[in-house]
Amino acid sequence: MNIQTINPATEEVIGNYEAAKESEIKYAVEKSRTAFAGWRANGISERTALLTRLSKILSKNREKYAGLITKEMGKPIKESLSEVEKCSLLCDYYAENAEKFLEDETVETEARRSYVAFEPLGVVACIMPWNFPFWQVMRFAVPAMTAGNTIVLKHSSICPGSALEICDAMEESGFPKDVFQTVIGSAPVGEALIKSDVNAVSVTGSLGTGKIVAKLAVDGMKKFVLELGGDDPLIILEDADIEEACRGAVRGRIVNSGQSCIAAKRFIVVEGVAQEFTDMLVEETAGLKIGDPTSMKTDVGPLVREAARRKLGEQIDDSVKAGAEILLGGRNTIGKGYFYQPTVMGKVTGKMRVASEETFGPVAPIMVARDEEDAIRIANDSELGLGASVWTRDLERGERVARRLEAGVVCVNGTVHSDPRMPFGGVKKSGVGRELSHYGLKEFVNVKSVKIM
């Protein structure tokens, strides 16, 4: 099967790739298994030294990698550059901290000596999406490899070029042969990889994908970690700094042109400040520059594919039919590229598609709450629970609200983002397990109890 990649800003074909055959997938896993024996035997200091080298390779080739990201999936170039730099910082973080994170933990028992050891599981398969082509892979692979596992990646068929560049970066950094590999293809390749002789699976994707992967992993009795997206609420309380909250709301919504699992997707505003916030949000959003993603002046690029643009348009149109109001935007742009105008919507209720479904695009649905209690109720009225934010001048109040929000990541007076120092993941149907920090490092280890009597 041929995999064709398309530049979403120009609609031009930019690459053709051959999908991996089942025999090639099996062989990649066999090579990974062979590489695991030597890789796990390496000392942690040897592994972290390679991370330091990888960090330097990423920084050195930052412009090249960022240009490829933008060409394959349309991310504005300034965000692509930041994505690659964040990958470099991730490597530095684990290079500095992994040895401490993986130290044996002494436990006082009746035995002469008792401790907990953290040992690698083996070969880990990862299925990754297109929206952060480098970061999504690195935030999983770096801690998993540092713990002593070997990796076989099946990246999105939208960005196979990024997958191959990551492989090249690993090789240039000196990682042993076959410690990190990639197989190219779409869903059937991913399914075959999960069914193969791997020990564990990590997937970032849609809820539908997560359900399929979870079933396959359970059938094979394999450990799995799932990050499945969000419908993140952004709460504006009546004592918030409205101007600052509005700027944060725009930043939180248009990151990656709105195509982010942790983008703010439901704007819940207490009624006393709803009109002021709405007017300001419309004005701020109208000032965004949409267009050529290779320009450093561009704020909003194209959506990744025409199908994605069509789905967003349907979600918005259906919500308007149900009573929502378009305050700004609400339609495709004219000309080449899968662009959709930055959109602000009012009179949105929880049953409408723009509020009840995850929206991947630059649309901001405003929902009005009676008070703090009502805002929390609306925020938690979702089957997803990845990120959330709350804006208030009263930090104690903000923390109190944060404690009550059903989410894996909450930010008070700031936009939700992943941070290598903090665990990342969701609750409810947003996923299983955690990435990043020492929690992410220990997802793919055997937590072994040892007693010396």
Token pair listed for 96: 């500095």
pLDDT at 433: 98
Does residue 449 have a pLDDT over 80? yes
> pLDDT-based confidence at 334, cuts 50/70/90?
confident
Reading the block at residue 413, the tokens are 């007076």
Once rounded to an integer, what is the mean pLDDT over residues 10-29?
98
Residue 175, φ and ψ in degrees, nearest 5: -65, 140
Where does the pLDDT of residue 140 fall: very low under 50, low under 70, confident under 90, or very high at 90 and above? very high
Whether 301 has a pLDDT exceeding 80, the answer reads: yes
pLDDT tens digits, 95-121: 999 999 999 999 999 999 999 999 999
Distance, CA of 349 to CA of 175 (rounded, Å) = 51
DSSP 415-451: -----TTS-B--EETTEES-BSHHHHHTTTEEEEEEE
Segment 285-302 mean pLDDT:
98
CA distance 12 to 6: 5
Nearest to 137 by CA among 15, 227, 214: 227
Asked if residue 453 has pLDDT above 90, the reply is yes
Residue 297 has which token pair?
Answer: 């002046």
pLDDT digits (tens, 9 = 90+) for 383-407: 999 999 999 999 999 999 999 999 9
Q: What are phi and psi of 124, to 5 degrees?
A: -115, 125
Q: How far apart are CA 376 and CA 170, in angstroms?
A: 44
Instruction: Please name every residue paired with 236 in a beta bridge, in sequence order, or none if there are none.
Output: 269, 391
Contact 446, 108 (CB under 8 A): no
pLDDT in tens, 252-282: 999 999 999 999 999 999 999 999 999 999 9
Percent of the chain surpassing pLDDT 90: 99
**How confident is the model at residue 325, as a pLDDT?**
99
Distances (CA, A) of 249 to 182, 242, 352: 37, 10, 20
Question: Phi and psi of 450, rounded to 5°?
Answer: -125, 130
pLDDT in tens, 186-197: 999 999 999 999
Q: Choose among 57, 58, 93, 55: nearest CA to 418.
A: 93
CA-CA distance, 98 to 95, in Å (whole number)?
6
Give domain 233-412's CATH architecture: 3-Layer(aba) Sandwich (3.40)
Closest by Cα among 423, 408, 422, 440 to 141:
440
Residue 161 pLDDT class (50, 70, 90 cuts): very high
For residue 71, what pLDDT is reported?
99
What distance, in Å, lies between the first and last C-alpha atoms of the chain? Answer: 58
- Report the catalytic residues: 227, 261
> Strands 445-452 and 233-236: what pairing?
unpaired
Q: Where in the chain is the domain with CATH 3.40.605.10?
A: 2-228+430-452
**DSSP characters over 196-233:** SS-SEEEEES-HHHHHHHHHHHHHTT-EEEEE-----E
Q: What is the mean pLDDT of the chain?
A: 98
| pLDDT tens per residue across span 202-252 | 999 999 999 999 999 999 999 999 999 999 999 999 999 999 999 999 999
Whether 91 has a pLDDT exceeding 80, the answer reads yes
Please state which CATH number belongs to domain 2-228+430-452.
3.40.605.10
C-alpha 19/C-alpha 312 separation (Å) is: 29
The phi and psi torsions of 118 (rounded to 5 degrees) equal -120, 105
Q: How would residue 318 be classed by pLDDT, with cut points 50, 70 and 90?
A: very high
Q: For 71-89, what is the mean pLDDT?
A: 99
**Residue in the block written with tokens 């390496």:** 42
| The pair of three-digit structure tokens given for residue 333, joined into one six-digit string | 């742009």
Residue 176: band (very low, low, confident or very high) from pLDDT cuts 50, 70, 90: very high
DSSP state of 324: -
This prediction's pTM: 0.97
Residue pointed to by tokens 């990682």: 175
Question: 107-115: which pairs have CB atoms within 8 A and are 24 or more residues apart?
Answer: 109/451, 111/451, 111/452, 111/453, 112/452, 112/453, 113/450, 113/451, 113/452, 114/449, 114/450, 114/451, 114/452, 115/450
Q: Which residues contact 424 (CB under 8 A, 6 or more apart)?
A: 139, 227, 408, 409, 418, 434, 435, 436, 437, 440
Residue 1 reports pLDDT greater than 90: no
* Half-sphere exposure in the Cβ direction for 267 (13 Å, CA): 29
Q: How many CA atoms lie within 13 A of 400 on its CB side?
A: 9
Collapsing DSSP to helix, strand or coil, 139 comes out as helix
